Protein backbone atom coordinates (compact mmCIF):
# COMPACT_ATOMS: atom_id res chain seq x y z
CA UNK A 1 0.00 0.00 0.00
CA UNK A 2 1.30 3.47 -0.90
CA UNK A 3 1.01 6.22 1.68
CA UNK A 4 -0.81 8.21 -1.01
CA UNK A 5 -3.66 5.68 -0.78
CA UNK A 6 -4.31 6.49 2.88
CA UNK A 7 -7.20 8.77 3.93
CA UNK A 8 -6.40 12.48 3.69
CA UNK A 9 -3.06 11.92 1.96
CA UNK A 10 -1.58 14.89 0.06
CA UNK A 11 1.50 14.31 -2.08
CA UNK A 12 4.74 15.93 -0.98
CA UNK A 13 6.59 18.40 -3.16
CA UNK A 14 9.37 17.21 -5.47
CA UNK A 15 11.61 15.28 -4.98
CA UNK A 16 9.33 13.60 -2.41
CA UNK A 17 6.18 13.60 -4.55
CA UNK A 18 5.97 9.76 -4.71
CA UNK A 19 5.02 9.70 -1.00
CA UNK A 20 2.53 11.54 1.20
CA UNK A 21 3.60 14.97 2.42
CA UNK A 22 0.87 15.03 5.05
CA UNK A 23 -2.50 13.56 5.93
CA UNK A 24 -4.35 16.77 6.72
CA UNK A 25 -2.67 17.82 9.99
CA UNK A 26 0.91 18.97 9.22
CA UNK A 27 1.68 20.46 12.63
CA UNK A 28 0.03 17.62 14.53
CA UNK A 29 2.06 15.14 12.50
CA UNK A 30 5.29 16.91 13.45
CA UNK A 31 4.42 16.60 17.13
CA UNK A 32 3.45 12.96 16.60
CA UNK A 33 6.78 12.30 14.92
CA UNK A 34 8.63 13.76 17.89
CA UNK A 35 6.84 11.28 20.14
CA UNK A 36 7.08 8.26 17.84
CA UNK A 37 5.67 7.61 14.38
CA UNK A 38 6.36 6.06 10.98
CA UNK A 39 7.02 8.03 7.79
CA UNK A 40 6.82 6.59 4.29
CA UNK A 41 10.26 7.17 2.73
CA UNK A 42 9.90 4.38 0.20
CA UNK A 43 11.08 6.58 -2.67
CA UNK A 44 14.63 6.48 -1.31
CA UNK A 45 17.24 4.31 -2.98
CA UNK A 46 18.66 1.09 -1.51
CA UNK A 47 21.89 -0.60 -2.64
CA UNK A 48 23.22 -3.90 -1.31
CA UNK A 49 26.99 -4.44 -1.49
CA UNK A 50 28.05 -8.02 -0.83
CA UNK A 51 31.26 -10.03 -1.05
CA UNK A 52 34.24 -10.57 1.26
CA UNK A 53 36.09 -7.45 0.01
CA UNK A 54 33.15 -5.05 0.40
CA UNK A 55 34.22 -3.08 3.49
CA UNK A 56 37.86 -2.62 2.49
CA UNK A 57 36.77 -1.67 -1.02
CA UNK A 58 34.26 0.95 0.19
CA UNK A 59 36.85 2.20 2.67
CA UNK A 60 39.30 2.92 -0.18
CA UNK A 61 36.72 4.65 -2.39
CA UNK A 62 34.93 6.88 0.11
CA UNK A 63 35.50 9.44 2.83
CA UNK A 64 34.49 7.21 5.72
CA UNK A 65 36.48 4.66 7.73
CA UNK A 66 34.37 1.54 7.17
CA UNK A 67 37.11 -1.07 6.94
CA UNK A 68 36.26 -2.42 10.38
CA UNK A 69 32.66 -1.23 10.55
CA UNK A 70 30.87 -3.30 13.18
CA UNK A 71 27.56 -4.92 12.25
CA UNK A 72 24.58 -2.76 13.17
CA UNK A 73 26.50 0.53 13.42
CA UNK A 74 25.02 3.34 11.31
CA UNK A 75 27.31 5.87 9.69
CA UNK A 76 27.48 7.96 6.50
CA UNK A 77 29.89 8.12 3.59
CA UNK A 78 30.61 10.37 0.63
CA UNK A 79 32.17 9.93 -2.78
CA UNK A 80 34.11 13.01 -3.86
CA UNK A 81 35.35 14.29 -7.19
CA UNK A 82 39.12 14.63 -7.70
CA UNK A 83 38.69 18.29 -6.68
CA UNK A 84 36.88 17.40 -3.46
CA UNK A 85 33.31 18.19 -4.48
CA UNK A 86 30.54 15.88 -3.20
CA UNK A 87 29.33 13.55 -5.95
CA UNK A 88 27.45 10.92 -3.91
CA UNK A 89 26.20 10.54 -0.33
CA UNK A 90 24.74 7.55 1.47
CA UNK A 91 23.74 6.24 4.87
CA UNK A 92 25.67 3.00 5.46
CA UNK A 93 25.14 0.01 7.73
CA UNK A 94 26.61 -3.49 7.59
CA UNK A 95 24.74 -6.57 8.83
CA UNK A 96 27.74 -8.89 8.87
CA UNK A 97 27.31 -10.18 5.32
CA UNK A 98 25.96 -7.23 3.33
CA UNK A 99 26.69 -3.51 3.42
CA UNK A 100 23.54 -1.47 2.82
CA UNK A 101 23.73 1.99 1.24
CA UNK A 102 20.64 4.21 1.57
CA UNK A 103 20.46 7.18 -0.79
CA UNK A 104 18.26 10.05 -1.81
CA UNK A 105 15.49 9.25 -4.35
CA UNK A 106 16.95 7.95 -7.64
CA UNK A 107 20.52 8.71 -6.48
CA UNK A 108 21.24 4.99 -6.12
CA UNK A 109 21.49 4.65 -9.90
CA UNK A 110 24.46 6.99 -10.23
CA UNK A 111 26.16 5.61 -7.12
CA UNK A 112 25.72 2.03 -8.34
CA UNK A 113 27.21 2.93 -11.73
CA UNK A 114 30.23 4.52 -10.05
CA UNK A 115 30.78 1.56 -7.75
CA UNK A 116 30.43 -0.94 -10.60
CA UNK A 117 33.05 0.98 -12.57
CA UNK A 118 35.50 0.63 -9.67
CA UNK A 119 35.14 -3.11 -8.95
CA UNK A 120 38.14 -4.31 -10.97
CA UNK A 121 39.27 -7.61 -9.37
CA UNK A 122 37.59 -7.00 -6.02
CA UNK A 123 35.26 -9.71 -4.73
CA UNK A 124 32.21 -7.49 -4.47
CA UNK A 125 28.75 -7.25 -6.01
CA UNK A 126 26.47 -4.21 -6.10
CA UNK A 127 22.73 -4.80 -6.42
CA UNK A 128 19.97 -2.17 -6.57
CA UNK A 129 17.43 -3.44 -4.04
CA UNK A 130 15.11 -0.42 -4.36
CA UNK A 131 12.42 -2.40 -6.25
CA UNK A 132 12.35 -5.01 -3.47
CA UNK A 133 12.88 -3.01 -0.27
CA UNK A 134 11.15 0.15 0.94
CA UNK A 135 12.58 2.65 3.43
CA UNK A 136 10.50 3.82 6.37
CA UNK A 137 11.47 6.58 8.79
CA UNK A 138 10.77 5.44 12.34
CA UNK A 139 11.00 7.43 15.57
CA UNK A 140 10.39 6.57 19.18
CA UNK A 141 10.39 2.94 20.29
CA UNK A 142 8.14 1.64 17.54
CA UNK A 143 8.70 -1.85 16.19
CA UNK A 144 7.99 -2.27 12.49
CA UNK A 145 6.79 -5.76 11.51
CA UNK A 146 8.92 -7.48 8.87
CA UNK A 147 11.95 -5.17 9.21
CA UNK A 148 14.93 -6.48 7.23
CA UNK A 149 17.53 -3.85 8.13
CA UNK A 150 17.54 -1.04 10.69
CA UNK A 151 19.87 1.93 10.12
CA UNK A 152 19.24 4.33 12.95
CA UNK A 153 15.88 5.93 12.23
CA UNK A 154 15.56 4.28 8.82
CA UNK A 155 14.13 0.77 8.49
CA UNK A 156 14.05 -1.39 5.37
CA UNK A 157 10.99 -3.59 4.83
CA UNK A 158 9.84 -5.71 1.87
CA UNK A 159 7.64 -3.77 -0.57
CA UNK A 160 5.49 -6.83 -1.09
CA UNK A 161 2.67 -6.58 1.38
CA UNK A 162 3.85 -3.24 2.79
CA UNK A 163 1.22 -1.65 4.98
CA UNK A 164 1.17 1.20 7.47
CA UNK A 165 -2.12 0.12 8.98
CA UNK A 166 -2.15 0.05 12.75
CA UNK A 167 0.93 2.27 13.07
CA UNK A 168 1.00 5.95 14.08
CA UNK A 169 1.94 7.77 10.88
CA UNK A 170 3.23 11.18 9.88
CA UNK A 171 3.78 12.67 6.44
CA UNK A 172 7.16 13.29 4.85
CA UNK A 173 6.70 17.04 5.37
CA UNK A 174 6.95 16.40 9.11
CA UNK A 175 10.24 14.58 8.61
CA UNK A 176 11.53 17.51 6.56
CA UNK A 177 10.42 20.07 9.15
CA UNK A 178 12.33 18.26 11.89
CA UNK A 179 15.35 17.82 9.62
CA UNK A 180 15.55 21.54 8.91
CA UNK A 181 15.02 22.34 12.59
CA UNK A 182 17.91 20.01 13.42
CA UNK A 183 20.07 21.78 10.82
CA UNK A 184 20.86 18.74 8.69
CA UNK A 185 21.84 19.15 5.05
CA UNK A 186 20.16 16.95 2.47
CA UNK A 187 22.07 15.78 -0.60
CA UNK A 188 20.68 17.29 -3.81
CA UNK A 189 18.62 19.92 -1.99
CA UNK A 190 21.13 21.70 0.22
CA UNK A 191 24.08 20.74 -1.98
CA UNK A 192 25.11 21.24 -5.59
CA UNK A 193 27.94 20.17 -7.89
CA UNK A 194 30.35 22.58 -6.15
CA UNK A 195 29.64 21.53 -2.55
CA UNK A 196 32.59 20.82 -0.25
CA UNK A 197 32.06 18.72 2.87
CA UNK A 198 33.10 21.63 5.09
CA UNK A 199 30.34 23.87 3.76
CA UNK A 200 27.38 21.76 4.86
CA UNK A 201 28.47 20.18 8.15
CA UNK A 202 29.37 16.76 6.76
CA UNK A 203 32.89 16.59 8.15
CA UNK A 204 31.72 15.09 11.46
CA UNK A 205 29.19 12.50 10.26
CA UNK A 206 30.77 11.38 7.00
CA UNK A 207 34.55 11.99 6.89
CA UNK A 208 37.40 10.23 8.69
CA UNK A 209 40.30 12.67 8.74
CA UNK A 210 42.84 10.07 9.84
CA UNK A 211 42.22 7.41 7.17
CA UNK A 212 44.29 6.61 4.08
CA UNK A 213 44.03 8.13 0.63
CA UNK A 214 40.79 8.52 -1.29
CA UNK A 215 39.71 10.67 -4.19
CA UNK A 216 39.38 14.31 -3.12
CA UNK A 217 41.29 13.86 0.15
CA UNK A 218 43.78 16.62 -0.62
CA UNK A 219 41.00 19.20 -0.84
CA UNK A 220 39.41 17.93 2.38
CA UNK A 221 42.73 18.23 4.26
CA UNK A 222 43.57 21.63 2.80
CA UNK A 223 40.23 23.23 3.61
CA UNK A 224 40.19 21.60 7.05
CA UNK A 225 43.61 23.02 7.89
CA UNK A 226 42.97 26.47 6.44
CA UNK A 227 39.35 26.72 7.56
CA UNK A 228 38.26 28.78 4.57
CA UNK A 229 35.49 27.08 2.55
CA UNK A 230 33.98 29.53 0.04
CA UNK A 231 30.41 29.02 1.32
CA UNK A 232 28.61 27.91 4.47
CA UNK A 233 25.24 26.39 5.22
CA UNK A 234 23.16 28.41 7.67
CA UNK A 235 19.78 28.02 9.29
CA UNK A 236 17.54 31.01 8.69
CA UNK A 237 14.32 32.28 10.21
CA UNK A 238 11.91 33.47 7.52
CA UNK A 239 9.40 36.29 7.70
CA UNK A 240 6.07 34.60 8.31
CA UNK A 241 3.76 37.51 7.55
CA UNK A 242 2.91 36.07 4.13
CA UNK A 243 0.92 32.89 3.57
CA UNK A 244 3.45 31.27 1.20
CA UNK A 245 6.96 30.06 1.85
CA UNK A 246 9.68 31.35 -0.49
CA UNK A 247 10.58 28.98 -3.27
CA UNK A 248 13.36 26.48 -2.75
CA UNK A 249 16.37 27.69 -4.69
CA UNK A 250 15.39 31.36 -4.39
CA UNK A 251 18.30 33.77 -4.55
CA UNK A 252 19.31 35.56 -1.34
CA UNK A 253 20.52 39.12 -1.52
CA UNK A 254 22.06 41.68 0.81
CA UNK A 255 21.42 45.27 -0.31
CA UNK A 256 20.67 44.01 -3.81
CA UNK A 257 23.79 41.85 -4.09
CA UNK A 258 23.31 38.09 -4.55
CA UNK A 259 25.08 36.24 -1.73
CA UNK A 260 23.53 32.77 -1.83
CA UNK A 261 20.35 30.76 -2.23
CA UNK A 262 17.64 29.26 -0.07
CA UNK A 263 17.97 25.47 -0.24
CA UNK A 264 15.14 24.26 2.05
CA UNK A 265 12.08 25.99 3.50
CA UNK A 266 9.52 24.55 5.93
CA UNK A 267 6.94 25.56 8.53
CA UNK A 268 7.87 24.16 11.93
CA UNK A 269 5.21 23.69 14.59
CA UNK A 270 7.24 25.64 17.19
CA UNK A 271 9.83 27.67 15.27
CA UNK A 272 7.55 28.91 12.50
CA UNK A 273 8.91 29.44 8.97
CA UNK A 274 12.54 28.34 8.84
CA UNK A 275 14.97 27.23 6.19
CA UNK A 276 18.49 26.32 5.23
CA UNK A 277 20.61 28.45 2.94
CA UNK A 278 24.00 28.28 1.27
CA UNK A 279 25.63 31.69 1.48
CA UNK A 280 29.05 33.15 0.86
CA UNK A 281 31.41 32.66 3.76
CA UNK A 282 31.85 36.43 4.06
CA UNK A 283 28.14 37.04 4.81
CA UNK A 284 27.92 38.15 8.48
CA UNK A 285 25.43 36.54 10.85
CA UNK A 286 23.60 39.84 11.31
CA UNK A 287 23.14 40.46 7.57
CA UNK A 288 19.64 41.45 6.42
CA UNK A 289 18.94 38.77 3.84
CA UNK A 290 16.07 39.00 1.34
CA UNK A 291 14.85 36.23 -0.96
CA UNK A 292 14.16 36.81 -4.63
CA UNK A 293 10.43 36.99 -3.88
CA UNK A 294 10.90 39.62 -1.18
CA UNK A 295 10.82 37.53 2.01
CA UNK A 296 13.18 38.66 4.77
CA UNK A 297 15.50 36.04 6.27
CA UNK A 298 17.68 36.23 9.36
CA UNK A 299 20.59 33.89 10.10
CA UNK A 300 19.95 31.77 13.20
CA UNK A 301 23.10 29.63 13.28
CA UNK A 302 26.05 28.41 11.25
CA UNK A 303 25.73 24.74 10.29
CA UNK A 304 28.95 24.28 8.36
CA UNK A 305 31.10 22.85 11.15
CA UNK A 306 29.21 20.83 13.77
CA UNK A 307 31.39 19.03 16.28
CA UNK A 308 29.29 15.86 16.07
CA UNK A 309 26.60 14.31 13.86
CA UNK A 310 23.11 15.62 14.56
CA UNK A 311 20.83 13.24 12.58
CA UNK A 312 17.42 14.55 13.49
CA UNK A 313 18.69 15.53 16.92
CA UNK A 314 15.25 16.88 17.83
CA UNK A 315 14.06 13.27 17.94
CA UNK A 316 16.68 11.89 20.33
Query: In the predicted model, what is the mean pLDDT of the chain?
Result: 94
For CATH 3.30.70.1400, list the domain ranges present in the chain.
Answer: 45-128
Confidence grade of residue 316 (pLDDT, cut at 50, 70, 90): very low
Question: What's the pLDDT tens digit per position in 25-51?
Answer: 999 999 999 999 999 999 999 999 999
Percent of the chain with pLDDT over 70: 96
Question: What's the pLDDT tens digit per position in 56-81?
Answer: 999 999 999 999 999 999 999 999 99
Give the separation between CA 99 and CA 49, rounded to whole angstroms: 5
For CATH 2.40.30.110, list the domain ranges present in the chain.
Answer: 180-209+226-307
Please list, in sequence order, all residues whose beta carbon lies within 8 angstroms of the beta carbon of residue 316, skipping any fewer than 6 positions away. none
Which residue, among 162, 160, 126, 146, has the nearest Cα to 45 in the 3D structure?
126
Contact (Cβ atoms closer than 8 angstroms) between residue 14 and residue 249: no
Tell me which fold the domain 45-128 belongs to.
Answer: Alpha-Beta Plaits (3.30.70)
Question: What's the pLDDT tens digit per position in 90-117?
Answer: 999 999 999 999 999 999 999 999 999 9
* pTM of the shown model: 0.94
CA angle 105/56/89 to nearest 5° reads 20
Q: In CATH, what number does 180-209+226-307 get? A: 2.40.30.110
Confidence grade of residue 23 (pLDDT, cut at 50, 70, 90): very high
Give the separation between CA 44 and CA 134, rounded to whole angstroms: 8
Q: What is the pLDDT of residue 314?
A: 47
Residues forming a β-bridge with 39: 137
Amino acid sequence: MSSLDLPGAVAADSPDAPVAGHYGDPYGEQRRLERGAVVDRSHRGVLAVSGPDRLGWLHALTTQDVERLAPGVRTELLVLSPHGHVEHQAVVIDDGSTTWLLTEPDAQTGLAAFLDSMRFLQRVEVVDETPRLATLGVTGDLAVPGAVVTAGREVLVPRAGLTLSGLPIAGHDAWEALRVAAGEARFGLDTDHRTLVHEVGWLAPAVALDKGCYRGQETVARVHNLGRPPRRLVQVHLDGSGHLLPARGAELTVEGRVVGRLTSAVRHHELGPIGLALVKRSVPDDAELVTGDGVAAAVERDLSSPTQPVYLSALR
